[in-house]
Structure 1
Amino acid sequence: MHSFVVTGGARGVGRTIAERLAMEGTVVIVDIVDPEQGDAPGPHEDGRRWPYHRMVLISGSAADPEVAQRAAMTAEAAGPLAGWVNNAAIFDDADLIGAGPGRILELITANLALAVTGCHTAVNHFRRHGRPGAIVNVSSHQAQRPVRGALPYATAKAAIEGLTRAVAVDHGPDGIRANAVALGSITTARSEAYRLAHPGVDAQMAALHPLGRPGTAAEVAGAVAFLLSEAAGFVNGVILPVDGGRSANGPDPEARSRIASA
């Protein structure tokens, strides 16, 4: 049975991805867990199994090469490492007026480093063991269509999409596939808290997504599981929007006049 690594898998979308992949084999989660925030069922030490079948936690930053290497070794001990998901992200932003270049670069690097470290660890692990493997990086619709006020995050996600394509080209000959999912708005505990504090957000989400709603973490997990599977064996270097059509949607300048005349 195979194993997988999911960074940022203690909560939100990452947690659902980990639970989905646990149906296929052992999943090693890399995350910084704070039990007081409700991120985990209780305190855990490195390598201790969670109550969920085939899920193991490595506590630490996914940007730390030593932590990432420990995750790879822990996964390999449970079964051949087959897939690595770089889901961890930092949601902290600044703008060109309120922050200096150093702070903005720090935030961009903080997000980009999570994916670079994961890709580096996964590629070298697969090559060292002489086997193919798959990497999925979690990106955002903001890589192509930024939301105002999120410059460092949008910039980092655009870089992660470039990283995805470069890894696919460089290591396709090694049998290593690299793809990304570019997410629209996905319902999580974090987004629900925002929704409750902003009553008009439901209408905004319906307007932004042609399907009329945000996505679910389970829908993201299904797309990630597909990209890691043998069914996607010839899919490489792809940025797959999982956004309900948000990236395809554009503002209609005639919509307001049509509504007014209806």
Structure 2
Amino acid sequence: MTYNRRFEGRVAIVTGASMGIGRATAMQLAEEGAIVVGCARRKPKLDELVDPIAERGGKFISVGLDVGDTDGFAGLIKDIATEYGRLDVLVNNAPSVIGGMVVDQSLDDWKANFGIGVDSVFVGVQAAMRVMIAQQSGAIVNISSVSSLRAGTASGGYGAAKAALNQFSQCAAMEAAPHNVRINVVAPGAVDTPGLNAATGKNPHVKKVITDAIPMQRAATPAEISAAICFLSSDEASFITGVILPVDGGKTPQLYVPSFDITNLDNQADNR
């Protein structure tokens, strides 16, 4: 894919940048001209991005950081803004997916979903807003999930955390809007990442069942999600704030109807 240079000279921070959606987003932002700071727990995976991005003319800075360390995360945002004199984009992508049936899930697991999915996002948004409001510009994109918009089995804790993220993001967007700071949410569906493989137990049959249930009959690629994130982060979305954008191949609006034999429709109608 060929990118333009929408982020030339801008500074971006991407959490959970070591793989999947975060990795694709960091690469696209850098290839479009941004100085990108990527943080994640797995620093060696982050380090793998430095040279490939440099070869494409981008700049990537690798920071080993668990955003569950909220003081460290807030400090990183402040330090980067101080070092470069600005912060233009923050993408809160670091995931925490702990599934479980309501009757079985422990309170600790419930809280863990909120710790990364909501608490760290609050800290990151707060720290970034302080910088961006002062400079009267900036974009924040928080990564949610279609699980925040539709119910599913064994996803009560995760879905509730992502729903809280949605509402928080919209409230923060209202506070930031008068200062030309935009806050939006991308809510992916199934994405072909290591996370999806783990969730399906690396079972191709289970994965196929999930993807066949998507109207577009496949999972998204990480690059398709990063394209939406980068659009909302760019000046092309300069009048968009407070939105929750599903990127899910049509899954969220889908009306589920059980399969039936269409050849018997006439007979069924006659027998009513």
TM-score greater than 0.5 by the shorter chain: yes
Counterpart Cα distance in 2 of 1:153 and 1:260: 41
Question: What SS class does the counterpart of residue 12 from structure 2 fall into?
Answer: strand
User: Does 2:162 match 1:153?
Assistant: no
**Is the CA contact 2:16–2:95 (under 8 Å) kept in the aligned structure 1?**
yes
Residues 1-262 of structure 1: matches in 2 within 5 Å? 1-23=9-31, 24-33=33-42, 35=44, 39-41=45-47, 50-51=50-51, 52-53=53-54, 54-63=59-68, 64-74=70-80, 77-78=83-84, 80-101=86-107, 103-128=109-134, 130-192=135-197, 194=200, 196-207=202-213, 209-253=214-258, 255-258=259-262
Question: What SS class does the counterpart of residue 27 from structure 2 fall into?
Answer: helix
1:241 Cα shift?
Answer: 0.8
Q: Structure 1 counterpart of 2:83, which letter?
A: A
| TM-score normalised by length of structure 1 | 0.86
**Is the CA contact 1:82–1:134 (under 8 Å) kept in the aligned structure 2?**
yes
Relative distance call for 1:99 and 1:75 in structure 2 (3 A) is same
1:29 Cα shift?
Answer: 0.9
Tell me the matched-pair count: 250
User: Which ranges of 4 or more aligned residues in structure 1 deviate by more than 3 Å?
Assistant: 99-103, 192-196
Counterpart Cα distance in 2 of 1:248 and 1:98: 30
1:199 Cα shift?
Answer: 1.9
Relative distance call for 1:56 and 1:145 in structure 2 (3 A) is same
Q: Structure 1 counterpart of 2:182, which letter?
A: R
Relative distance call for 1:131 and 1:192 in structure 2 (3 A) is same
Identity rate, percent: 27
Structure 1: segments with no counterpart, 5+ residues: 43-48
Counterpart Cα distance in 2 of 1:18 and 1:85: 9
**Is the CA contact 1:139–1:157 (under 8 Å) kept in the aligned structure 2?**
yes
1:113 Cα shift?
Answer: 1.3
Task: Please report the RMSD computed on the Cα atoms of aligned residues, expressed in angstroms.
Answer: 2.4
Larger radius of gyration: 2
1:126 Cα shift?
Answer: 1.1
**Is the CA contact 1:165–1:178 (under 8 Å) kept in the aligned structure 2?**
yes
